[in-house]
């Protein structure tokens, strides 16, 4: 199973799609991308509400 999280689903115009085999992997991938490309901080990415919102956008194939 592949788990994905599309950056555009967070409201950006960004074509990036984070991928992993588990929720945690995909959140880690998305987090690295958000830091590198969108300038998020670790503090923002570790926020419980942010993580909960991102988990709702995760798709499993």
Provide the binding-site residues for Zn ion, judged by CB under 5 A: 7, 14, 16, 37
Report the nearest approach of Zn ion to the CB of residue 42 (Å).
17
Q: Which is nearer to Zn ion, 38 or 60 (CB)?
A: 38
Report the nearest approach of Zn ion to the CB of residue 40 (Å).
10
Q: Can you tell me which residue has the tokens 């798709």?
A: 59
Report the nearest approach of Zn ion to the CB of residue 52 (Å).
19
How many other C-beta atoms are found inside a 10 Å radius of the C-beta of residue 34? Answer: 22
Sheet with 59-60: list strands edge to edge. 17-20, 3-6, 59-60
């Amino acid at each position: 199973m592949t788990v994905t999280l599309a950056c555009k689903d967070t409201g950006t115009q960004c074509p990036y799609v984070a991928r992993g085999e588990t929720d945690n992997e995909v959140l880690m991938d998305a987090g690295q991308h958000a830091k590198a490309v969108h300038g998020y901080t670790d503090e923002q990415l570790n926020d419980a509400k942010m993580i909960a919102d991102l988990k709702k956008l995760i798709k499993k194939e």
